[in-house]
Amino acid sequence: MLTSHHQGSVKRPRKEKLTVHHLRFSQYLAVLALIILTPTGLKAQTDTRLEGLKDEALRMVEEDAKMVQEIVDMLFSFGELGFQEFETQRYLTGILEDHGFEIELGVAGMPSAWTARWSNGSGSPVIALGSDVDGIPQSNQKPGVAYRDPILSMAPGHGEGHNSGQAVNIVAALNVKELMEREDIDGTLMIWPGIAEEQLGSKAFFVRDGVFDDVDVNLFTHVSSNFSVTWGHTSGNALVSAQFRFTGETAHSAGSPWRGKSALDAIMLLAQAWEYKREHLRPPQRSHYIIVEGGDQPNVVPQTATIWFYFREVDYPRVVEMYDAAKLMARGAAMMTGTEIDTIMTVGSAWNRHFSKPVAEVTQMNIERVGLPEWSGEDVALANGLQRDLGQEERGLPTQVPPLRGPINLANYSGGGSDDIGDVSWNMPTITMRYPANMPGGPGHNWANGIAMATPIAHKGSLAGAKVQALTLLDLFLDGQTVEAAWDYFNDVQMADMTYTPFITPDDKPAIWLNEGIMAQWRERMRPFYYDPSRYDTYLEQLGIEYPTIRTRPISEDALGRSVPNRH
């Protein structure tokens, strides 16, 4: 890292203003040294060096476009669900280990989790780069095909685009690492994955178990259809994910049902009670559930049953209120059915997000410097084709970068999704940089959101994201004021009237058993479709897909005369 040396200049009376043209060469060098060694001169020197390295980083990342494409396509082909991201772990840590990073596997009690670290000089500051890597159940989809067409029907897939973020981080980090080695820049690069983000299952455990204890700034990335970065209390709710398991007594459902105690009845009563409660909750809340276990067969009174809830509200206290209310309802359901509550398990959790203003401002400047990719006619045609097929307005792909966004107005906030990066953001300066690797118009957590994710849209958008990430890394490593300002904001503004209290307890363990059965069912069937970059330039080529493939059949009308696309 650059160090500053302060040296005052000697004042001498002069008859006239000296210019370079008036000085002998030795005098010129002396004056130049004095100029450079003043604070203003050092700042200018630092800025000049930083700008030069940024220009170089942009060229270097551009030259790694092939690596971006291969990482994006490879992870897309794995399509692994949360807590089961083992192919992803093996592949990404292999790349990083080959480039000199120190790998730790099984971090925070999660076998598919990992960290990769590399340090230079003093090792300070420590900048972490994170991105989620898990997929969505039943979202398997052929890339580049603008309608429902799975590679394997009902299989998992990347229906949110989590296959792209680590390409952004890794390519940025490898190129910045090269510059740090050459230029003797102090610092540590740390790369980590968001494991089981769809279950909100990992980041609170990373925080609790000290994975980020020495991190100065956390730069998180997430796929989107455009660039964006925010600061302050951003959109998105806090969340608790919890399972309620009841136990009862079996009996013959027809022969002697009065001798049974139905655990299924208990969870149905709990669900119904929550539906009555829903009317009396605030508009920002979101709550939803599924029945994980409801019995074995109809002619046996269910002895065990499990219901899985997500409780969401704008902040920690309100989520706790929802969770506590559900626990009371569970006790009532058990009393009404003569069953017992076997376990109430916190499966995952997420605080609401608060992002660093100084880091967001620097990132926004870098976003504006990089700009959006140049979309081809084929890229826009794919986007329009999907939007048309989904009955959405045809708006193609974005052409303008949005401005930096500040805190949301909680008085008008109507709720939304959650991300456990929130827990990280309340423990150190953090931002999420969204990058343009997907298409507008998808419903989210859906096969449609995977269509672009192994196409030139994802490749170009992830490459642009890697450029922004590289520039921001250089800002943080070379301009110590940004890191200092980030911590000033964190301590004096963000945490001024807030104390972070995790939803999880010291004894809670990650739900690493989640999705184990699903991936055991699908992994070997998906393996023949893993991307092979030694034989094929792209995953589209491997699958034999013409880009783009768009539905050509005409739009029909439904019974009410509304235009709808024809379906297979």
- Whether the upstream peptide bond of residue 548 has omega within 30° of 0, thus cis, is yes
Residue type present at position 502:
P
Quick one: pLDDT at residue 26?
Answer: 52
Quick one: pLDDT at residue 43?
Answer: 65
- Give yes or no for a contact between 54 and 473, defined as CB atoms under 8 angstroms apart: no
**Three-state SS across 95-164?**
HHHHCCCEEEECHHHCCCCEEEEEEECCCCCEEEEEEECCCECCCCCCCCECCCCCCCCCCCECCCCCCC
φ, ψ of residue 222 to 5 degrees: the values are: -150, 140
The rounded distance, in Å, linking the Cα atoms of 126 and 120 is: 10
Q: Which two tokens stand for residue 291?
A: 């029945």
Residue written as token pair 């995977």: 450
Residue written as token pair 């994910």: 241
Taking each continuous run of H as one helix and of E as one strand, the counts in the chain are 15, 14
Distance of CA 253 to the CA centre of its chain: 47
For 222-286, the DSSP string reads: EEESS-B-B-EE-S--EEEEEEEEEE-B--BTTT-GGG-B-HHHHHHHHHHHHHHHHTTS-TT-E
The rounded distance, in Å, linking the Cα atoms of 192 and 116 is: 7
Quick one: pLDDT at residue 5?
Answer: 32
Residue 132 CA: distances (Å) to CA of 149, 169, 420, 553: 25, 11, 10, 37
- Give yes or no for a contact between 345 and 505, defined as CB atoms under 8 angstroms apart: no
Q: Which two tokens stand for residue 340?
A: 């017992």
pLDDT per residue as tens digits for the range 377-430: 999 999 999 999 999 999 999 999 999 999 998 888 888 899 999 999 999 999
- Whether the upstream peptide bond of residue 402 has omega within 30° of 0, thus cis, is no
For 513, the 3-state DSSP assignment is coil
The residues of the chain scoring below 50 in pLDDT are 1-23, 31, 559, 561, 567-568
The rounded distance, in Å, linking the Cα atoms of 386 and 551 is: 9
Of the candidates 245, 275, 251, the one whose C-alpha atom is nearest the C-alpha of residue 263 is 245
- Give yes or no for a contact between 236 and 275, defined as CB atoms under 8 angstroms apart: no
Domains of the chain: 55-236+352-520 (3.40.630.10), 238-350 (3.30.70.360)
Distance of CA 557 to the CA centre of its chain: 39
Other CB atoms within 10 Å distance of the CB of residue 206: 26
Of the candidates 47, 85, 29, the one whose C-alpha atom is nearest the C-alpha of residue 201 is 85
pLDDT per residue as tens digits for the range 318-353: 999 999 999 999 999 999 999 999 999 999 999 999
- Give yes or no for a contact between 241 and 310, defined as CB atoms under 8 angstroms apart: yes
The rounded distance, in Å, linking the Cα atoms of 156 and 163 is: 13
The rounded distance, in Å, linking the Cα atoms of 250 and 257 is: 9
Of the candidates 311, 310, 305, the one whose C-alpha atom is nearest the C-alpha of residue 340 is 305
